[in-house]
Every structure is written in structure tokens, then in C-alpha cells.
Amino acid sequence: MLMNALIVGFVVALAKFLDWWFSSQLSRPIFIVALLGILLGHPTEGIILGAQLELIFLGNVNLGGVMPSDFTLGSIFGGAFAMILGSKIETAIALAVPISLLGTLIYTVMKMVITSLVPRFEKHIKDKNIKAFNRLWSLQFWGFELVYFLLGFISIMVGTNAIKALIEAIPTWIQSSMTVAATMLPAIGIALLLKMLWEKSLIPFYFLGFALGAFFTYDKATDGRLTKGAVALTTAPTKMLSLIQIAFIGFIIAALVVMAELRHNNNNKQTATETVDSNDESEDFFND
């Protein structure tokens, strides 16, 4: 059990590192649960579990610095419990979702602690003490990693069954409302992005993006059944344009805006002064 606990603790800390370092995407379940499986000695189960958990958390992303659900923590614990106990994939999933929601709360508390340290960082620079500044930064970094290591280590040591009982003790109405909350929370990340991008004259473009993303849907057939000689199709509304396709359209619109702006600048300059040497320079910038 000690070995398992050390491995899970290490993987949780590593995942928290990879979450942010290099924006590597390697804390996604498809990679990190596979790695966990290899370390725990269940490589094939780990890889398959990783794929299953990835499918569940596919829509969960951290946007604008907001973490709506800690799918990393949830899938590592779910995967670890299932592999250690030798239980089914369903167990992993049943544990992963509530743990990922509890993880959000842990993260929020951690970020509040970090926020409380900000004035200290500022003070060290004001006092011209770069050594203390660096020390505090390292302390914060390693403290953050240590908390997650201990979280993984202790959870496995305390006993997988105890954790399972704890999760099961959470009433279903709380569990289901937390699932609802996790899908709503990206709104805050987007609101933070929007705050940085806010410019009155350009805001219609936000709604254009929304329209492209939301309005074009089609009913995708998910299931077909033969009833009374006729085929009854089950359909689900599906978004027609992917974000990649919207980015393509968005790029065209942005290019048009830039060109119009450059032309406008040039016209202004030509009327203001007779020297038109700035003409080639702006074109240079655009060509590059």
C-alpha cells in the first residue's frame, strides 16, 4: 500500500506540474492515467481507463485561469482506486466526477492562499531584496506541489474504502448540482477573457462568434431502430461548425478589419501631409 500511495502522490504532483508547465496538455486523463497505470503495474488497464475518462471530461477545459472542474485530480483518483481495487471502469467514473468537483474547491482555497502572499512579493521588491523574493517564489512553488503530493499519498494510505464511503456519503442532490455547476463555471473564465478584450466598438464581433458557434446545428442521428416496419431515428442536436472552422472564418474577418484600418490610416496621412513615406512601411508590416 505504501508503494502505491507513493506512486499516486507522485503522479498527482507531476500532473499538477504538467498542468501548467509548457501548457503541455499532458495532465489530460488520456496521458496521465495511462502513465499512472504503467507505474502501478497495470499498463493496459491504465491506457483504456485514460481513454474512457478522457471521453467523459472532453468538454471540461480551464479557461482564462478558472478551473471549473479538476478533471486531473478526479481521473487520477478514479483510475487509481479502480486499478488498486481491481474494480470495473464504472467505479473509476463514479469516483472521478465527484472528486473532480471537490478538487475545484481545494484549488480555490490554494489560490486564495497564494493571493494572500502577493503583498509580500511586492514588499520584497520594494525593499530591494531579490533573494527573499526568489525564496518565497520557490517556497510557493514547492508548497503547491507538496500539498498535491500529500493529497494523493494520504488518500491512498487512509484507505481506498474510506474515500469511497466519503464520496458516497455526499447526497446525490449535491453531486448533481455540482455537476451542473461545473458546466456553468466556464462562463466566469470567459467573462474574465472578455474583460480584457472589452472595447465598445468591437464588441459586436463577440456576438458574431457566439452566433457562429451556437446557431448552426443539425440533428445528428445517434441511434436507429426498426419499429412497426418504419425506421425510428434518435437524434441529438449537434454543433455544425467546430472551433477550428470558426477560427478560419474569424481570421478572414480579422484580416479584413486590419486591411480597412491600414487603408484608413494611409488616407489620413495623405491628407494630413504630403510626404507619403510611411506608405511602404505599413505594407511591410502587413506582408510580414
Scanning residues 78 to 97, which ones bind other proteins (CB under 8 A)?
none
Task: State the minimum distance, in angstroms, from the CB of residue 153 to other proteins.
Answer: 21
Residues 104-163 that bind other proteins (CB under 8 A): 108, 111-112, 114-115, 117-118, 121-122, 125-126, 128, 130, 133-134, 137, 140-141, 144
What are the C-alpha distances in Å from 64 to residues 24, 60, 144, 208? 16, 13, 20, 20
Residues 188-207 that bind other proteins (CB under 8 A): 188, 190-199, 202-203, 205-207
Task: State the minimum distance, in angstroms, from the CB of residue 195 to other proteins.
Answer: 6
Query: Which three cell numbers mark 278?
Result: 510611411
Select 106 or 157, whichever has its Cβ closest to other proteins. Answer: 106
Radius of gyration of the chain (CA): 25
Select 161 or 234, whichever has its Cβ closest to other proteins. Answer: 234
Residues 210-229 that bind other proteins (CB under 8 A): 210-215, 217
Task: State the minimum distance, in angstroms, from the CB of residue 259 to other proteins.
Answer: 8
CB 217 within 8 A of CB 240: yes
Select 10 or 31, whichever has its Cβ closest to other proteins. Answer: 31
Task: State the minimum distance, in angstroms, from the CB of residue 166 to other proteins.
Answer: 19
Query: Which three cell numbers mark 46?
Result: 491504465
- The 10 Å CB-count burial string (b at 16+, else e) for 36-61 is bbebbebeebbbebbebbbebbeebe
Query: What is d(CA 265, CA 3) in angstroms, rounded to the nearest whole number?
Result: 67
Query: What is d(CA 201, CA 204) in angstroms, rounded to the nearest whole number?
Result: 8
Residues 243-282 that bind other proteins (CB under 8 A): 243-244, 246-247, 249-251, 253-255, 257-258, 261-262, 265, 268-269, 278, 281-282
- 171, with CB counted inside 10 A (0-12, 13-18, 19+), is exposed
Tell me which of 1, 146, 170, 180 binds other proteins, using CB under 8 A.
Answer: 180
Residue 51 makes contact with other proteins by CB under 8 A: yes
